[in-house]
Amino acid sequence: MIETRPLPDSPFGVEILGVDFSKSVSDGDIRTILRLFHEHEVILVREQEMDYDRYDWLTRHFGNHHPHFLDHLRLEGHPAILLLSNIIEDGNPVGVFEGAAFWHTDVAYEDPPNSSTVVYGREWGEQGCPTHFCDTRGAYDALPDTMKERIEDLTVLHHYGNREDLNEHSKTSAEKLTAVQKDRIKNVYHPLAKRHPFTGRRSLYGVAGSSFGIVGMPDDEAIDLLDELRDHALQPQFTTSLDFQIGDVGAWDTFSTLHKATALKPATGSRDRRLLWRISVNGFPRLLASEASKE
């Protein structure tokens, strides 16, 4: 039977217990998990044993697999899986190493944007590696009405990158791109106060990371407003962190959260290796299709 408990010392998110993804899971239980996911924004399910096929099966319940823009860091033979790791082989990182250590929303630089990200812990280094999360739905709710009215109809320009750090050699910039990938960067547009397709609630969508301007607003004014909203959202009452261990499944709702990885040093041996599988999806969970469209 599925049960929940709050994440320790966290203003949001929930741990889900009573499910074993290595075995058959009913559609009813999957629906329960997906509804908990939308309600709590971040979920954690511990001690799961999955191979590629089972992880593939699980993640397809969240939406449509969307192989990552960083095509050189996908897992060979499993293009939907992006590796997050500090492992270096033959001088090359095997996955995203330093490219996510800044507040961002996954794949907000595409249209459609990703709707959720699901990670699975494969290796964990004793130095730890927390992933930080921000509840941008709670942050929106806490805004004064005057600010809610000001941003209600605003549209934000997004493209790949971190607007706070454009030096591609920095540890807090977005993952460095190949020349071909740079040519693929394009501008896309998303609502600032985005309404969630299932909960119907608004959040401060993508106010850090890939947001670079606001339609119809001078750039300096737009950046000031995005920075103000980002600083509001990153207050302690809206943030938490999780250090994904081996066997942990973690998922975050990209419509209502920001997150930030921790930059690690390169692994030196088995004790400090960190490896997560990561799949981001777009679209809606098929099993909840009839409940969508509150955007």
User: Is the Cα torsion angle 252, 254, 256, 261 positive or negative in sign?
Assistant: positive
Per-residue b or e along 99-130, where b marks 16 or more CB atoms closer than 10 Å to that residue's CB: bbbbbbbbbbbbeebbbbbbbbbbbbbeeebe
Tell me how far, at minimum, the Cβ of 99 lies from Fe ion, in Å.
9
Adjacent-strand bridge partners of 193: 204
Residue 110 found at the interface with Fe ion (CB under 5 A): no
User: Nearest 5°: CA angle at 122, between 71 and 3?
Assistant: 115
- The region that residue 68 occupies, defined by phi over 0 for left and psi between -120 and 50 for alpha, beta otherwise, is beta
Q: What is the footprint of Fe ion within residues 142-181 (CB under 5 A)?
A: none
Residue 106 found at the interface with Fe ion (CB under 5 A): yes
Question: Which lies closer to Fe ion via its Cβ, residue 19 or residue 259?
Answer: 259
Residue 19 found at the interface with Fe ion (CB under 5 A): no
Distance CA 208, CA 156 (A): 11
Which residue in 100, 174, 177, 264 binds Fe ion (CB under 5 A)?
Answer: 100
Stretch that binds Fe ion, among 5-13, 101-109, 167-175, 220-228 (CB under 5 A): 101-109
Percentages (nearest 5) of helix, strand, coil residues in the chain: 25, 30, 50
Stretch that binds Fe ion, among 29-37, 81-89, 104-112, 235-243 (CB under 5 A): 104-112
Q: Are strands 42-45 and 14-17 parallel, antiparallel or unpaired?
A: parallel
Q: How many residues belong to the site for Fe ion (CB under 5 A)?
A: 2
What is the Cβ-side half-sphere exposure of residue 234, based on CA atoms within 13 angstroms? 17
Question: Which lies closer to Fe ion via its Cβ, residue 48 or residue 131?
Answer: 131
Tell me how far, at minimum, the Cβ of 41 lies from Fe ion, in Å.
14
Tell me how far, at minimum, the Cβ of 144 lies from Fe ion, in Å.
30
User: Which x/- pattern, by CB under 5 A, does the window 45-84 give for Fe ion?
Assistant: ----------------------------------------
Tell me how far, at minimum, the Cβ of 117 lies from Fe ion, in Å.
6
Tell me how far, at minimum, the Cβ of 210 lies from Fe ion, in Å.
11
Tell me how far, at minimum, the Cβ of 171 lies from Fe ion, in Å.
15
Tell me how far, at minimum, the Cβ of 106 lies from Fe ion, in Å.
4
Stretch that binds Fe ion, among 21-29, 103-111, 158-166, 213-221 (CB under 5 A): 103-111
Instruction: Count how many residues are written for the chain.
Output: 295
Q: What is the footprint of Fe ion within residues 200-239 (CB under 5 A)?
A: none
3 state DSSP class of 194: strand
Which residues, 6 or more positions from 76, have their beta carbon under 8 angstroms from its beta carbon? none
Q: What is the DSSP letter of 185?
A: -
Q: What is the footprint of Fe ion within residues 237-256 (CB under 5 A)?
A: none
Question: Which lies closer to Fe ion via its Cβ, residue 15 or residue 106?
Answer: 106
User: Where does this chain bind Fe ion (CB under 5 A)?
Assistant: 100, 106
